[in-house]
Amino acid sequence: MDIERIPPAEALRRQRDGGVLIDVRAAHERATGFAEGARGITKDELEADPAAALPDRDVPVMLICQMGGRSLKAAEALCAAGYVRVASVEGGTERWIADGLPTERPAGDHDFYDRYSRHLRLPEVGEVGQKRLQEARIAMVGAGGLGSPAAYYLAAAGIGTLVLADDDVVDRSNLQRQILHTDDRVGVAKVESARIALSALNPRVDIQAFPERITAANVERLIADADVVIDGADNFPARYLLNDACVKLGKPLVYGAVHRFEGQVSVFDAGRLRGEAPCYRCLFPEPPPPEAAPNCAEAGVLGVLPGVIGLLQATEAIKLILDLGEPLRGRLLHFDALSMRFRETRLGPDPDCLVCAPGRDFPGYIDYARFCSAQSNP
């Protein structure tokens, strides 16, 4: 079927001569700007019942979308339905705006539609999903190597509230990998430095900064209202504490760790899926000895490595909030930067796990520092 394709200027001329200009994009796309006087009717709505929108089959109709693809397909559908004077606007709204033709915008939150326009164009996210991100609350322990990239991209993605807990201050040695911080903020509390950077990136996000070391006394206060918890800690006591609290409170925990040139990521969701998904203790019933897992200050770390792992953590957090795809539940993803390879290890729940075994009551918080020290130095 040979559909007439016309430039935006010709569409404007025909519109002014009595033709009907229809924008077939979704409402959230039109919110970023549309051709002046265009009627907003989505492609699906138009194809489902063209007579409701266009009772006169002889009226000149021009269809416009973002770049010209959808409008062409909608024009083919109208012609097949018996409409005889149908044209598609080449280049769509993008060319209409580039050519300087008159446009308008509906009233509303223009910042929202501009800032998240690329998310809004994803059918899997759209306006509903973006508003779900905007309503979400993520708690993150650690504003360092892993927390920096994770928090940065979560703020950019439009997470409504980010809770950051870290009792450290910015050191010059951090700047090689902790991208939230800058040289002029050396000596500043990391959570305050993070708040400055994240608010500058996206002032819509509520950054709640707690310059605190996570303990059994404060962990529930920090994560109780979170939809997702991200483990950006650099020590085993904090990881075991976070795991136990997330199991108790039914929170998904996005785990990440780095060592020299390697990193790993997983999602521990045993609190919500007892007997189906493992927790951190199912993977590591006991902490490894210190010589087997030295921290970054002792062993060093490739500066870009936390960026890779932190971004994977942010990706998993967004997927969990949007209920998209397949989270890393029951899977441990390993990354080797030197070989540039990923490999995956399947994880099952431990039916005898002290914390997440089905039917087992929460055993209570313990002295995690002593536990890790005792297990590492029997």
pLDDT digits (tens, 9 = 90+) for 266-302: 999 999 999 999 999 999 998 876 655 566 666 789 9
344 and 203 co-located in one domain: yes
Side chain identity at 377, as an amino acid letter? Answer: N
What residues are paired with 276 via a beta bridge? Answer: none
Q: Rounded to an integer, what is the distance from CA 322 to the centroid of its chain?
A: 8
Residues 177, 269 within the same domain:
yes
Q: Do 183 and 290 reside in the same domain of the chain?
A: yes
Residue 296: active-site member: yes
Is there a single domain that holds both residue 304 and residue 336? yes
Q: Are residues 64 and 14 in the same domain?
A: yes
Asked if 179 and 79 sit in the same domain, the reply is no
Residue 316 has pLDDT above 50, yes or no: yes
Helices 190-201 and 147-157, axial angle in degrees (round to 10): 30
Per-residue model confidence as pLDDT tens digits over 99-138: 999 999 887 888 998 899 899 888 899 889 999 999 999 9
User: Would you say the C-alpha torsion 191, 269, 137, 126 has a positive or negative sign?
Assistant: positive
> pLDDT digit string (tens) for 188-224?
999 999 999 999 999 999 999 999 999 999 999 999 9
List the end-to-end C-alpha distance of the chain, in Å, as a whole number: 79
- What is the rounded average pLDDT for all residues in the chain? 93
Task: Provide the CA 115 distance to its chain's centre, in angstroms.
Answer: 14
Nearest alpha carbon to residue 62 among 82, 45, 44, 37: 37
The reply to whether 137 and 161 lie within a common domain is: yes
Asked whether residue 251 falls in the same domain as residue 130, the answer is yes
pLDDT band (50, 70, 90) for residue 377:
very low
DSSP 290: G
Listed residues 73, 108, 143: the one ending a domain: 108
In this structure, is residue 219 part of a structural domain?
yes
**Same domain flag for 37 and 124:** no
Residue 113 covered by a domain: no
What tens digit of pLDDT does each residue of 62-96 get? 999 999 999 999 999 999 999 989 999 999 999 99
CATH number of the domain at 101, please: 3.40.250.10
pTM of the predicted protein model = 0.86
- The reply to whether 114 falls in a domain is no
Instruction: Give the pLDDT score at 300.
Output: 86
Q: Provide the residue range defining the domain that includes 248.
A: 120-376
Secondary structure (3-state) at 35: strand
- Domain annotation covers residue 288: yes
What is the rounded average pLDDT of the residues 339-368? 95
Report the Cα 275 to chain-centroid distance in Å: 27
Residues 251 and 175 in one domain: yes
Query: Quick check: is 313 in a domain?
Result: yes
The pLDDT score that the predictor gives to residue 292 is 55
Give me the long-range contacts of 273-276 (CB less than 8 A, separation at least 24).
Answer: 273/329, 274/349, 274/356, 274/357, 274/358, 274/359, 275/349, 275/351, 275/357, 275/358, 276/349
Residue 194 pLDDT: 98
pLDDT at 287 (0 to 100): 82
User: Residue 189's domain is classified under what CATH number?
Assistant: 3.40.50.720
Strand partners, 208: 163
What's the confidence (pLDDT) of residue 373?
A: 79
Please indicate, yes or no, if residue 115 is contained in any of the structural domains: no
pLDDT for the residue numbered 2: 85
Same domain assignment for residues 20 and 146: no
- Domain end residue (candidates: 59, 80, 108): 108
Does residue 282 share a domain with residue 229?
A: yes
Structural domain count of the chain: 2
3-state secondary structure of 214: coil
In order of 239, 284, 296, 302, the CA distances from 338 in angstroms are: 26, 25, 17, 10
DSSP letter string, 161-209: EEEEE---B--GGGGGT-TT--GGGTTSBHHHHHHHHHHHH-TTSEEEE
How far is the CA of 144 from the CAs of 25, 179, 231, 304, in angstroms?
A: 42, 8, 11, 13
Give 352's contacts (C-beta < 8 A, 6+ positions apart). Answer: none
Q: pLDDT tens digits, residue range 136-163?
A: 999 999 999 999 999 999 999 999 999 9
Q: How far is CA 98 from CA 16, 29, 41, in A?
A: 20, 17, 23
Three-class SS of residue 83? coil
Given 74, 108, 142, which residue is the final one in a domain? 108
Which residue out of 296, 353, 356, 372 is catalytically annotated?
296
CA angle 29-32-33, nearest 5°? 100
